[in-house]
Amino acid sequence: MIILSQQLVLGFMIGGLYGLAAVGLSLIFGVLKVLNVAHGELIMLGGYGAYWLFALLGFDPFASLLLVVPLSLLLGLGLYCALFGFVVRTDEETRIKNSLLIGFGLALALHALAVKLWTADERGITTSYAGSVLIVGHLAIPLVRLASLAVAFALIAALHLLLTRWRWGRAIRATADDWQAALLTGIDVRRAYLLAFALGTGLAGAAGTLVSVGYSISPSIGLEWTLKALIVVVLAGLGSMFGTFVGGLFLGLAEAASAAVFGGPYREVVGLVIIFAVLVARPQGLFGAR
Amino acid sequence: MHAERRWAAVILLAFAGLALVPLAAPRDDTLNLLFLILLSVTLAQSWNIIAGYAGQVNLGHAAFFGLGALVTRTLWIGGTPVLVAMAAGAGAAVAFALAIGAAAFRLRGAYFAIGTLALGEILRITTGNVLAEISTLPAAAIAGYRLTLRYYLALVLAALAVAVVAALATSRLGLGITALREDEDAAEASGVNALRLKLTALVTSTTLAGLAGGLFAYYHISYYPQHPFSPHWTFDALLVTYIGGVGTLHGPVLGAVFYVFLKEYLATRWVDLHLLIFGALFIGGGLLLPGGLVEAGGRLRRLLRSTLRR
């Protein structure tokens, strides 16, 4: 029983990161209707950014968020202007096709680049407080991961505020709902696309930083994280940022429970089976509104 | 319509020419390269049927390739003649397609893509867990290994794939399937049974994918059983098809030639940078030639005409 609850606690904490990874993807997918299959590679880049700041300059990884997130935002702006901005000009069918082609190309290129820059070894950030745990009853809670969960939640709350309070945030939501209607009301849809893409990339950078602190990164983690994020996006449905976060927590818990029941190797399978079942039963996702 | 027949004739004629290659006693690496191109043609055409003609972007295609490989390999090493084993492999792929088809086709657009990606990964991880050991041919089979045999099998399969796509593209069935791609609701309203046609397209597509998997199992001396389930096979098929021209008969063939040549060339020329260049090329292709290589000729002509006029 203790082992199971310990597993669930750890699953809950990685679930927060699944949620954060998925929120960025969900924003891009929901607004641009573009499936960015290189999202996991953007997470990986964010992780290496934090790793470099830590290894070369001695920055605390949580503090380096202040640098990694803006840099990721800039990267997002660049990627949109150079690549994805051309994709959204096409109709919806061509859009999926071209975003897959460009996404895979980007994923390959970023993966190769990361191997070149940082070698294929697994890396992680080991801070002086890395080993600290909080003991609650019989459970041990790693402080770093707990802090990561809190940061993930804070970032999603901030995104929620941005999307509901900020003028451009509302424009992004309007564009996601119906871009033609948004265009008719005078919203600069292209700029809403640009902002949504940059925000999504910024969140990927933040997720990568948190992954490199509590867990580990390597150039090949991209596909795995893209998959996790996709699973959560589908599980939660589009439209609700908190719903996506809850979807991430749910996936983390489900994986932990299945690891405890069926053994470690099957933890991923269970998540995938859940997603397929949810998709078929509720094609709009658990929290999706349609 | 007629364009498709003409292309089929051209491609099959080229394949007939390829049948003469082993007579010239080429080096093994030439034959291997041609083999990879032909396998790529088969796999890409099989994906082209479901994604190009039926418009269902199936990201779990590797599952069918993998199942074909798994069943063929197991039966063939167990003593079954390879062609029978390959048929059984294709049967397994079709059985899986029918088992998941009705559920998967409830999903549309990007959701179908994500759902099928999840299915493919379920099979990959499970296979990796159950069969973690590398699969190697018995010594007797390695001693009797003949590449030419594999080459001819690949040639026949690729020709079959091209013929199937050509037949589909010019048939009434194909018309119904492409109508679904253009507008599913409108197609249903005019009497097309969407689910039945989508399942037909999926079964045709997965039969070829299963056979291609069987060929892979017959070709490779040793590999991890998980390997043919890797999403990279799906991505390969997708990239080849998109680069060449999705929903056309000659597109995936052009794409396969271009893709395999380029991959092999870059891998030997720039060992550690080749994926970077490769990735950059796809991005460039997606931006500059959204319709694939099949459009390159037309674009070039238009470009020339506009420069000449100036």
Query: How much is the pLDDT for A175?
Result: 80
pTM: 0.85
* Closest CB to B275 among A83, A87, A112: A112
CB contact under 8 A, B119 and A109: no
Contacts of B259 in chain A (CB under 8 A): none
Across chain A, which distance is largest between two alpha carbons, in Å?
59
Least confident of A45-54, A128-137, B81-90, B255-264: A128-137
Better-scored residue on pLDDT, B308 or A199: A199
- Domain count within chain A: 1
Span A92-118, pLDDT tens digits: 767 777 788 888 888 888 888 888 888
Q: Which residues of A touch B242 (CB under 8 A)?
A: 97, 100-101
Residue B149 lies in a domain: yes
Is the residue at A243 inside a domain? yes
Please say if the pLDDT value at position A290 is more than 70: no
Domains: count for chain B: 1
Supply the pLDDT for residue B29.
85
Measured between beta carbons, the chain A residues lying within 8 angstroms of B246 are 97
A185 within a domain of the structure (yes/no): yes
Which two tokens mark B113? Answer: 């893509």
* Confidence (pLDDT) at A84: 81
CB B213 within 8 A of CB B228: yes
pLDDT given for residue B307 in this prediction: 79
B276 falls within a domain: yes
CATH label of the domain that carries residue B157: 1.10.3470
What is the C-alpha separation between A54 and A118, in angstroms, rounded?
A: 14
Nearest to B115 among A94, A108, A279 (CB): A279
Kindly tell me if the per-residue pLDDT of A44 is higher than 60: yes
- The dihedral over CA atoms of B71, B100, A278, B195, expressed in degrees to the nearest 10, equals 160
* Alpha-carbon dihedral A140, A145, A146, A147, rounded to 10 degrees: 140
Cα–Cα distance measured from residue A237 to residue A171, given in angstroms and rounded to the nearest whole number: 20
Percent of chain B with pLDDT over 70: 99
Q: What is the pLDDT of residues A48-93, one digit of tens each?
A: 988 888 888 888 888 888 888 899 999 999 988 888 888 777 777 6
B25 domain residue, yes or no? no
A127 phi and psi, to 5 degrees? -85, 175
β-strand partners of A181: none
Interface test with A, best of B56, B61, B100, B122 (most A CBs within 10 A): B122
**Which residue did the predictor score with more confidence, B292 or A68?**
A68
- Of A282 and A273, the structure prediction assigns the larger pLDDT to A273
Residue B26 domain flag: no
Question: pLDDT of A157-215, one tens digit each?
Answer: 888 888 888 888 788 888 887 878 878 888 887 888 888 999 999 999 999 998 888 88
Which among A82, A2, A24 is positioned nearest to A211, based on CA atoms?
A24
Q: Name the residue among B249, B243, B245, B246 with its Cα closest to residue B263.
A: B243
Q: Is the pLDDT of residue A33 over 70?
A: yes
How sure is the predictor about B43, in pLDDT bands with cuts at 50, 70 and 90? very high
B119, B195, B282, best to mutate vs chain A, most A CBs in 10 Å: B282
Which tens digits make up the pLDDT trace of B174-202? 888 888 888 888 888 888 888 888 899 99
Residue B210 lies in a domain: yes
pLDDT for A288 equals: 61
Cα gap A252→A20, rounded to integer Å: 12
Percentage of residues in chain A with pLDDT exceeding 90? Answer: 13
Compute the count of residue pairs across chains A and B with CB atoms less than 8 Å apart: 137
Lowest mean pLDDT among A152-156, A242-246, B128-132, B272-276: B272-276
Q: Is A119 on the interface with B (CB under 8 A)?
A: no
Domain that holds residue A233: 2-281
- Rounded to the nearest angstrom, the minimum Cα separation between A128 and chain B is 35
Q: Check residues A211 and A240 and name the one with the higher pLDDT.
A: A211
With beta carbons under 8 A apart, name residues in chain B contacting A110.
279
Q: What is the reported pLDDT for B310?
A: 64
Is residue A287 included in any domain, yes or no? Answer: no
Check which CATH number belongs to the domain holding A249 and give it.
1.10.3470
Q: How far apart are CA A100 and CA A85, in angstroms?
A: 14
Phi, psi of A123 (to 5 degrees): -135, 155
> Which residue range forms the structural domain that includes residue B248?
2-20+31-309
Name residue B203's amino acid: V
Answer for the pair B279, A107: CB distance below 8 angstroms, yes or no.
Answer: yes
Give the pLDDT mean for A221-247. Answer: 84
CA distance A235 to B1: 42
